[in-house]
Amino acid sequence: MSGMADLRVRVLSVAIAMPFIAGAIWAGGWPFVAMSAIAIIVVIAELSAISRDRHFDAGVLIGAIGLVAAMAAIHLAQYGLAVILLLATVIAAQLFAWSNDRARLFAVTLVYLALAGFSAILLRDDPNYGLRAAAWVLLIVMATDTGAYFIGRAVGGPRLAPAISPAKTWSGAIGGVIAAVAMSALFTGFFLDSPMAPMIGLAVIVSVIAQCGDLAESRFKRRFGVKDASGLIPGHGGLLDRIDSLFAACIIAGLIGIARGGLSSTGQGLLLW
C-alpha cells in the first residue's frame, strides 16, 4: 500500500471509530465496559486465528465469556471474583483449545488481554479522575502512533527492530516519544493541577511501553507467519493491529495508578502528583 493510501486508511479508520470511543469514554460506567468488552472479544478471536488457525470454537467462546464476566466483576468492585473468573477462564480455555504449546500461548494472551481490560476499567471508574485518566492514556497513545508514523517516514534512518518490524525506525520511535511528551504537556496545562515534570516523565514511560506493545504484537504475528491480525479493517489488518499499543499503555498506566492510588482511585494515582 502506498504512503498516501496508507494514511487515508488510517485517517478513515480513526474517523469512523473515534465518535464511538469518545462517547464511551465520556459516558463511563457500563457503556465503557461494553466498548472494552467488544474490543476484547474481537481481539480474542484474532489471536486465536493467528495462533490456532480458528476464529471461533469452544476455547474462544470460553475465553470471551470468562474475560467479559471478569471485567464486569472489576466494574462492580468484586476484585476477588474477577481474579477467580480469570484463573478459571485461562484453565478452561487451555483445556478446550488443545493441550499443546499453542493452547498454552493462547491462554497467556488471555491473561494479557485481561490485564489491559482490568486496567482500562479501573482507570475510567475512578470517580474523580476517571474521565481525564482514560482520555490522557488514549491521547498519549494516539500522539505516539502519529508522531512515530510521520517522523519515521520523514526522517528514516536506522531500523528499530528489523527482524520484527522492518518499517519501524529509531527516528520514528523517538518522534513518537516527543509527540507524547508534547501531548502530555498540553493536557496537563489545560486539565490537571499536577506539576509538569512528572507528567512528562510519565508520558515517556507510557509512550515507550506502548511502542513495545506494538513490537510484541509484530513478534507474535511473525512467529506464526501472519502479516495482519485479520481483515476486519479493509486494507489495514485487524483490530489488534490498531490497538496493540493501547493495550500495553493501559497496563502500565493501570499499574502505576494502582501502586499510587489503589484500586478505587487508580486514575487519581496516575495523574495526581
- Residue 48 and residue 164: Cα distance in Å, rounded? 20
Helical (H) or strand (E) element with 161: strand 159-161
Q: The domain containing residue 139 runs over which residues? A: 3-271
pLDDT of residue 7: 61
pLDDT of residue 96: 74
The domain total for the chain is 1
pLDDT of residue 196: 97
pLDDT of residue 78: 98
Cα 105 to Cα 7, 80, 115, 176, distances in angstroms: 33, 24, 16, 30
Taking alpha carbons only, the member of 123, 114, 156 closest to residue 141 is: 123
pLDDT of residue 108: 86
pLDDT of residue 95: 79
39 burial (CB, 10 Å; 0-12 / 13-18 / 19+) is: buried
pLDDT of residue 235: 57
pLDDT of residue 141: 96
- Residue 29 and residue 75: Cα distance in Å, rounded? 8
pLDDT of residue 100: 61
pLDDT of residue 145: 93
Cα 268 to Cα 134, 170, 206, 213, distances in angstroms: 11, 33, 16, 24
* CB neighbours of residue 104 within 10 Å: 14
pLDDT of residue 204: 98
pLDDT of residue 129: 97
pLDDT of residue 260: 97
Q: In the chain, which residue ranges form alpha helices assigned H by DSSP? A: 3-27, 29-52, 58-75, 79-96, 101-125, 130-155, 170-191, 196-223, 239-261, 266-271
Vertex 203 angle, CA 197 and 208, to 5°: 135
In the chain, which residues have pLDDT < 50?
1
Grid cell, residue 197, equals 515534570
